[in-house]
Amino acid sequence: MGRNPAAVVKGSPRKRTTSFDGSFIPVERFVPTCEIRLKWPIPVMLSIVVGKPVWTTYRMEQKKNGKRNYQLKECSIQDLKSDSITLSNPGALSSGTDNRNIVDDGSSQKLSMEEIVNLRDEGLSSKEIVGTLIENSKTFHNKTEYSQQKYLKKKEKKYFEYVTVRKPTVRLIAEIMFRLDQGKIMGLRVDTLSQINTAVNLHSHGKYIVYESGCQGLASASMLNGLSGEGRLVLVHSGNYPQKHALLALNLTEEQENCLISVNIYNLLRKLKGTCGSETQTASVDTTPVKEGVESSDVSFEKEVDSSEVSVKEALSPGQSLENVTDTSETDVKDQVITNSDQESTGSGKRKLSESGNDDGSAKKKSRWEVETDRAAGLLSSQKADGLVLVCREHPSSILNALLPLVAPSRNFVVYNQCREPLLDLFTELMKNPNVINVRLTDTWLRYYQVESNRTHPLVNMTGSGGYLLTGVVVDSGEK
Amino acid sequence: MICENYTNIRKILLFRPHDLRDIMSFHTHKTSIEEGDTLMLYLSPSSLLTITVNSLTKNKHGATVENILQTTQGALKVRNLIGQKYGSRIELSKGSAYALHPTPELWTVTLPHRTQIIYTPDISMILFQLELRPGCIVIESGTGSGSLSHALIRAIKPSGHLYTFDFHEHRASVARSEFQSHGVGDFVTVAHQDVCQNGFGSEVERKADAVFLDLPHPWEAVPHAVNAMKDSGGRLCSFSPCMEQVQRTCEKLRGLGFVEISTLEVLIKEYQVSARTMSVMDLDSINANDNGPNAVWKDPLKIVSCNAPLTLAGHTGYLTVATLPPLLSRVPIDSVNGTNQG
Ligand SMILES: C[S@@+](CC[C@H](N)C(=O)[O-])C[C@H]1O[C@@H](n2cnc3c(N)ncnc32)[C@H](O)[C@@H]1O
C-alpha cells in the first residue's frame, strides 16, 4: 500500500506518549513487517494497523515461535485501563513514609528476570505480573507511595510494550529525529527549528528558498508545512536528489507536493545566469553527477562511498572549492562528519538512498530534472523570493552569496549551523555588505520540567546546544 | 445600485481614510510604499519604529499640518516615503534608515504595550508546539497587546481563523482595530469575554485545532478548552510566569484526559560579535642585558570575538503543552477515579 502516514509512538498505557523518553518511531515506508526501534530494533508485524484509525494503541506480543518477533494486538481503552496497574489501582497499597528501612542489596526482587519473562510469555496480563512482582518484592511495601508508583511504571514499561499509531506532524518528526540521532540532523533542535519559520517570516502564500544538506529534509518539511497551495518552496541541494526523509515522513498532500520544487544548486545558478556550459563554474560539471543524468548516478554513489573520508576533510578545509562541495554533497547525507562508530547504519543509509534513486531512475528522470530546474529558475527570475533559509554542512558563505541576490528587498534570511564559528565568519562578512541589515547571531536554550505536586523540578538531563542561527534582512541600499 | 456602492465607499473614505489602501500590509508583500501603509523604520539594530504613513497630521492646536517625524537619524517628512520601494534606503537629515515591511516579529518589538507581551522566542515555540499550519482554527486568550496574535494569524491564514478573547473591553477593541488596519482583520475574530467564567462560546464549540492560554488562572479555562476542541483532538499550550500556575494547570490537564503533557522553557541569547585586534607581547626577545620595563610587541593579532550579553532575560514564562486525543481515545482520569472536577 505504499507509503503510510503513520508515526508509531511507544509508551505505557498510563502515559501513552511519553515524548521525552526517546521512544518515538517513525514508519515512513510501510511494509508488512517493519523494524521499529524501541530500545533496540524489533521486527514487528505492522499489517494490522492498516485501516485502523490513528491513535489506536497496540500491545506488542511476542510470537509463539520466534523469540524476538512481535505482533501487535489492538487494545481498547478498557484493555488499557485494566492492563495498567498504575491507572486502575492508585494509592490502594500500603506504603512507607521514607526510605529509612530500605536496603538495596540487589536481592529485593525474589523473582529472576527469566522467571518474569516466562510469566509474560505464559500470557499473564501486566496487572497480574506486576502483582506477582509486588508480592515477591521485599521492599515494595516500605517504599513511599511516590516511589511505589515509580516502581510500577518502570516495571510496566519493562515488561510491556505498547505502541500508538499517530498521524505524523512536524513536531513529532522533529522530536523523533532529534532523539534517534541528532547527528543526522546536525543537532537541529525543535526550539531552533521553530525559530527558523518565524525568523524567515513564513507566510502561507510566500515564495521561499531553502538550501539544505545534512538535516534529512527536516527544515524543508517544517517550512513546507507552513505553506498553502499558493506558496512555493524551492528546495536547493547539491546532489542528485534532495534529502527528503522528513518530507516523506510528513505524508504530503498533492497540493503540498506541488508547492515543492527541488533543484540542484549548480543547475539553478547556471540556468539563472543563462550561460549553460560557458561559465568558469562549469569546471565542476565532471564531478557533478546530476548533469550526467541517470547512467552515471549509480557510479557516482559508489565513488562517493569510497571518497567519503577524503571529501569530509575537504569540506572542512577552509579553502574549499565548489568541486569539493559537490563531492561532499552525498556524503553529507550519511553523516560522515558526525559519525565515528556507526559504520553499519551509515552503510545502510547509503544503500537506501541509491535504491530510491533507482526507483524513479527511469529515462524520464532526466527530463524531470530539467523541468524542475526550469520551474525554479522561472519562478525566481520572474520575482524574487520572500525569504531564504540555509541549513547546511558546507561553509555557508559561498552558498549565501550565491543565493542572497535571489531574495527581494525587505525580506529575511536565516542561516543555521551546529557550530558558531562559520556563522562568525559570515557575520563579519555581512557587516561589510551594504545590502544586508539587522544581522543577529543567536541561540536558544531549552529546558524541560517535571511537574508533579511537591515534586516539581527541571529535568535532570538537558541538551547542551540546539545549534545557532544567524538572521538578517536584505535591503536595497543603492550600492553594489 | 451604483449609487449605493458609491455612498458606501464614500463613507469608508470619510471615516477610515486608510483602510482601502493599507489593507494588505501584514498579509502580503508589496513593492512600493503608499499612503496609509504601516511600516517599520529601521534606524539601527537597536532602534526600530512602527509608523503609519500619514502625510498629514494634526498639531497640538488641532490644525492639519505636514507630518514630520523626529528620529535618532534626524527628521523625516513622512510624505517623502510615498512611492519609495520597501527595503530601500531613506535619507534623513542626520543619516539614513530603511523602510521595511511589517512582520509579526518587528511588530512584537515595536508595539505599544497595553499588557505584558510574549516575545518571539516563545512565540516560535508556541506556533510549533500547537502544530499550526494554514487552515487551522485556533483560540487564544487573552488577547492582551496582540503580540502573539499577529504570529498566530500569519501561521493559519488564509483559510484558517483565529478566535481571540479578552475580558478587558478596551484591549479587545484596540486589538480589533489594529488587526483591521494591519490588513489581517478577515482572519481573526476578537471577542470581549471572560473565558474562565463563560468559556469560548458556542461559535467555536468542537471547532478548534489548538487552544492557547495566557491567563492568570489558566486551569479555569482548560475545561472550556476541551469543549472547544475538535472531536479529533488537538493541542493546547499555556504560558505562565509562575510555577504554581503550571502545577495547577498540569493537574487539570491530566484530569481531563490530556496526554503528552510537557512543561518547558525557552530563552534566547543574542551574541555580540566584534572584530578585535589584540596586542601580543614579545617575551622571546628578552635578554640578560636589558634593563627597565620596556615592553616589546609582536604584530597584533586579529580575532573575531563572540560574547554573550552581560544581562539577558533569564525567565519569561513556562510553556505547558499537551495533546487532547480524539474523543474515542480520551481517558479522563477525573471520571475514572471519581476525583473532583474542581
Ligand atoms: C499577559 S496578557 C496577554 C498578552 C498576549 N499574549 C500578548 O502577547 O500580547 C493577559 C490578558 O488576559 C486577559 N485576561 C485575564 N483573565 C481573563 C479572562 N478570564 N478572560 C479573558 N481574558 C482575560 C487580560 O485582560 C490581559 O489582557
Report pLDDT for A56: 81
Which pLDDT band, with edges at 50, 70 and 90, does A148 fall under? confident
Among B24, B27, B29, pick the best mutation site for testing chain A contact (most A Cβ within 10 A).
Answer: B29
Smallest Cβ–Cβ distance between A440 and the set B129, B270, B337 belongs to B270
Which pLDDT band, with edges at 50, 70 and 90, does B9 fall under? very low
Least confident of A125-134, A143-152, A192-201, A278-287: A278-287
Residues 369 through 428 of chain A touching chain B, CB cutoff 8 Å: 386, 408-412, 420, 424-425, 427-428
What would the pLDDT profile of A341-386 be if each residue is shown by its tens digit? Answer: 333 333 333 333 333 444 444 445 457 888 999 999 999 999 999 9
What would the pLDDT profile of A102-144 be if each residue is shown by its tens digit? Answer: 666 666 677 777 777 777 667 676 667 777 777 777 777 777 7
Smallest Cβ–Cβ distance between B329 and the set A55, A226, A456 belongs to A55
Smallest Cβ–Cβ distance between B158 and the set A56, A204, A409 belongs to A204
Higher-pLDDT residue of B249, B14: B249
- Residue identifier of the C-alpha nearest atom 11 of ligand 1: B142
In this prediction, residues A38-44 reach a mean pLDDT of 59
Give B-chain residues touching A441 at CB under 8 angstroms.
270-271, 273, 306
Asked if pLDDT for residue B72 goes beyond 80, the answer is yes
Determine, for residues A441 and B273 on separate chains, whether the beta-carbon distance falls below 8 Å.
Answer: yes
Q: Percent of chain B beyond pLDDT 70?
A: 90
Report pLDDT for A264: 96
Report pLDDT for A197: 97
Determine, for residues B125 and A201 on separate chains, whether the beta-carbon distance falls below 8 Å.
Answer: no
Least confident of A195-204, A427-436, B168-177, B331-340: B331-340
Average pLDDT, whole number, for chain A? Answer: 72
Instruction: Give the length of chain B.
Output: 342
Smallest CA–CA distance, residue A420 to chain B, in Å, is 9
Is the CB of B264 inside 8 Å of chain A's CB atoms?
A: yes
Q: What is the 3-state secondary structure (H, E, C) of chain A?
A: CCEEEEEEEECCCCCCCCHHHCCEEEEEECCCEEEEECCCEEEEECHHHCCCCCCCEEEEEECCCCCCCEEEEEECHHHHHHHCHHHHCCCCCCCECCCCCCCCCCCCECCCHHHHHHHHHCCCCHHHHHHHHHHCECCHHHCEHHHHHHHHHHHHHHHCCEEEEECCCHHHHHHHHHHHHHHHHCCCCHHHHHHHHHHCCCCCCCEEEEEECCCCCHHHHHHHCCCCCCCEEEEEECCCCCCCHHHHHCCCCHHHHHHEEEEEHHHHHHHHHCCCCCCHHHHHHHHCHHHHCHHHHHHHHHHHHHHHHHHHHHHHCCCCCHHHHHHHHHHHHCCCCCCCCCHHHHHHHHHHHHHHHHHCCCCHHHHHHHHHHHHHHHHHHHCCEEEEEEECCCCHHHHHHHHHHHEEEEEEEEEEECCCHHHHHHHHHHHCCCCEEEEEEEEEEEEEEECCCCCCEECCCCCCCCCEEEEEEECECCCC
Average pLDDT, whole number, for chain B? Answer: 88
Residues 77 through 136 of chain A touching chain B, CB cutoff 8 Å: 77, 80-81, 87, 90
CA–centroid distance, residue A237 to ligand 1 (Å): 44
Beta-strand pair B210-213/B297-307:
unpaired
Residues 183 through 222 of chain B touching chain A, CB cutoff 8 Å: none
Give B-chain residues touching A202 at CB under 8 angstroms.
154-155
Report pLDDT for A104: 63
Asked if pLDDT for residue B169 goes beyond 90, the answer is yes
Is the CB of B241 inside 8 Å of chain A's CB atoms?
A: no
Which pLDDT band, with edges at 50, 70 and 90, does B11 fall under? very low
Asked if pLDDT for residue A20 goes beyond 50, the answer is no
Please, are residues A217 and B151 in contact by the beta-carbon 8 Å criterion?
A: no
- Residue identifier of the C-alpha nearest atom 3 of ligand 1: B144
Q: How much of chain B is in helix, strand and coil states, percent to nearest 5?
A: 30, 30, 35
Smallest Cβ–Cβ distance between B85 and the set A206, A228, A409 belongs to A409
What would the pLDDT profile of B89-130 be if each residue is shown by its tens digit? Answer: 999 989 999 999 999 999 999 999 999 999 999 999 999 999
Report pLDDT for A157: 62
Which pLDDT band, with edges at 50, 70 and 90, does A322 fall under? very low
CA–centroid distance, residue B206 to ligand 1 (Å): 22
Asked if pLDDT for residue A263 goes beyond 90, the answer is yes
Determine, for residues A194 and B260 on separate chains, whether the beta-carbon distance falls below 8 Å.
Answer: no
Which pLDDT band, with edges at 50, 70 and 90, does A200 fall under? very high
Residue B295 DSSP code? -
Determine, for residues A15 and B270 on separate chains, whether the beta-carbon distance falls below 8 Å.
Answer: no
Pocket test for ligand 1, best of B105, B123, B141 (most atoms within 8 A of CB): B141
Instruction: Note the helical H segments in B111-217.
Output: 120-129, 147-156, 169-181, 195-198
Is the CB of A356 inside 8 Å of chain B's CB atoms?
A: no
The span from the CA of A372 to the CA of A124, in Å, is 57
CA distances from B68 to B80, B81, B97, B101, B153 (A): 10, 11, 15, 20, 32
CA–centroid distance, residue B220 to ligand 1 (Å): 13
The span from the CA of A295 to the CA of B203, in Å, is 59
Which pLDDT band, with edges at 50, 70 and 90, does A66 fall under? low
What would the pLDDT profile of A157-187 be if each residue is shown by its tens digit? Answer: 666 667 777 888 899 889 888 887 899 999 9
Which pLDDT band, with edges at 50, 70 and 90, does A319 fall under? very low
Asked if pLDDT for residue A307 goes beyond 50, the answer is no
Report pLDDT for A91: 46
Model-wide pTM > 0.90: no
Asked if pLDDT for residue A5 goes beyond 90, the answer is no
In this prediction, residues A276-283 reach a mean pLDDT of 39
Report pLDDT for B85: 94
- Amino acid making up residue A212: E
Report pLDDT for A158: 63
Q: Which helix (H) or strand (E) holds B245?
A: helix B243-255
Least confident of A17-26, A456-465, B246-255, B300-309: A17-26
CB contacts < 8 Å between A and B, how many? Answer: 190
Is the CB of A202 inside 8 Å of chain B's CB atoms?
A: yes
Pocket test for ligand 1, best of B118, B195, B215, B217 (most atoms within 8 A of CB): B215
Is the CB of A477 inside 8 Å of chain B's CB atoms?
A: yes
What would the pLDDT profile of A294-303 be if each residue is shown by its tens digit? Answer: 333 333 333 3
Report pLDDT for A68: 60
In this prediction, residues A262-275 reach a mean pLDDT of 90
Higher-pLDDT residue of A305, B204: B204
Which pLDDT band, with edges at 50, 70 and 90, does B287 fall under? confident
> From the alpha carbon of B118, which atom of ligand 1 is closest?
8
Is the CB of A441 inside 8 Å of chain B's CB atoms?
A: yes
Determine, for residues A190 and B128 on separate chains, whether the beta-carbon distance falls below 8 Å.
Answer: yes
Smallest CA–CA distance, residue B274 to chain A, in Å, is 8
CA–centroid distance, residue B278 to ligand 1 (Å): 51
Ligand 1 neighbours (beta carbon < 6 A): B 115-118, 141-142, 144-148, 165-168, 171, 194-196, 214-216
Give A-chain residues touching B337 at CB under 8 angstroms.
90
Asked whether the ipTM of the predicted complex exceeds the cut of 0.85, the reply is: yes
Is the CB of A321 inside 8 Å of chain B's CB atoms?
A: no
Asked if pLDDT for residue B215 goes beyond 80, the answer is yes
Which pLDDT band, with edges at 50, 70 and 90, does A151 fall under? confident
Least confident of A91-100, B182-191, B288-297: A91-100
Q: Percent of chain A beyond pLDDT 90?
A: 37
Report pLDDT for B90: 93
Report pLDDT for B261: 94
Q: Percent of chain B beyond pLDDT 90?
A: 73
Is the CB of B315 inside 8 Å of chain A's CB atoms?
A: no
Asked if pLDDT for residue A329 goes beyond 90, the answer is no
What would the pLDDT profile of B119-168 be if each residue is shown by its tens digit? Answer: 999 999 999 999 999 999 999 999 999 999 999 999 999 999 999 999 99
Report pLDDT for A45: 67
Phi, then psi, of A439 in degrees rounded to 5: -75, 130
Report pLDDT for A83: 61
Give B-chain residues touching A444 at CB under 8 angstroms.
121, 266-269
Determine, for residues A449 and B318 on separate chains, whether the beta-carbon distance falls below 8 Å.
Answer: yes
Smallest Cβ–Cβ distance between B331 and the set A19, A81, A198 belongs to A81
In this prediction, residues A455-475 reach a mean pLDDT of 95
Smallest CA–CA distance, residue A409 to chain B, in Å, is 5
Nearest chain B residue to A81 by CA: give it: B331
CB burial of residue B138 (10 Å; 0-12, 13-18, 19+): buried
Beta-strand pair A207-212/A385-391:
parallel
Report pLDDT for A316: 31
In this prediction, residues A229-239 reach a mean pLDDT of 95
Higher-pLDDT residue of B57, A107: B57
Determine, for residues A444 and B267 on separate chains, whether the beta-carbon distance falls below 8 Å.
Answer: yes
Is the CB of B88 inside 8 Å of chain A's CB atoms?
A: yes
Q: How far apart are the first and last CA of chain B?
A: 58
